[in-house]
Amino acid sequence: MKIISYNVNGIRAALLKNFTEWLLSENPDILCLQETKAQPDQIDTMLFAKMGYTSYLHSAQKKGYSGVAIITKQAPDNVVIGMDFPLYDGEGRVIRADFGDITVICVYIPSGSSGDLRQIFKMDFLKEFALYIENLRKTRPNIVVCGDYNICHKPIDINHPERQNGVSGFLPEERAWLDEYEAAGMVDSFRVFNQNADEYSWWSYRGGARFRNAGWRIDYNWVSEPLRNRLKSAAILQDAIHSDHCPVVVEIDEI
């Protein structure tokens, strides 16, 4: 099972940048998208259907904002929209699909960079999301949680960490949340295979950050501990340029 997670920063904009050609070339079984920034009637799902994919969408109530999607070649046994938490579900942040014994969750964790109120909103979301994952794992122990977490976990995951003190996305409390997430039995699949520095998945559009590789690793495919031994590979696909993010991929053995 090949799963790609990608914050496209607007699916309609990405489609104008040869996104479908890239998708044909990568040929994932499951594609998890974040920040689609479109209502369902604004996404041409027939483009994906022609490639053998079925699209499951969760858009924000606010037009042109947030939104997640799971686009899959495999027919899911079950699809659940949201966390059953209206405050967050109205922003289109979580969608779940079950495939046999594996559950795939696509999440777009809020950014706190616009100010204190959104940082509080982000931390509250993280608390509820951790409970959501904890409860789900009681009945669905094999979970892949794909998405834009808007957090760099460790200094290795961000350029010049010494300059990032007090910056949302690298705050001690955010990083502590990922520490607790990991301690609770979640595995950062990329770090199972790659311990190198300078491996990033997001770059600011400002100052030629991508050219300089002054990036952040905030996009992840975390898996629950029972899936660790079924991991085949994980990587960051930095050559894909449809967004200020790039895709991240994980391959898992199916039973």
Would you please indicate which residues are annotated as catalytic (active-site) residues?
148
Specify the pairing of strand 143-148 against strand 231-236.
Answer: unpaired
DSSP string computed for 125-143? HHHHHHHHHHHHHTT---E
Q: Using alpha carbons, select from 57, 48, 2, 1 the residue that is nearest to residue 23.
A: 48
* CB distance 30 to 4 below 8 Å: yes
Distance of CA 58 to the CA centre of its chain: 14
Q: Using alpha carbons, select from 54, 154, 156, 168 the residue that is nearest to residue 109.
A: 168
Q: How far is CA 72 from CA 135, 220, 235, 240, in A?
A: 25, 18, 19, 19
**What is the 8-class DSSP label of residue 245?**
B
- Structure tokens, 132: 């959501």
As a whole number of angstroms, the distance between CA 53 and CA 9 comes to: 21
As a whole number of angstroms, the distance between CA 41 and CA 51 comes to: 19
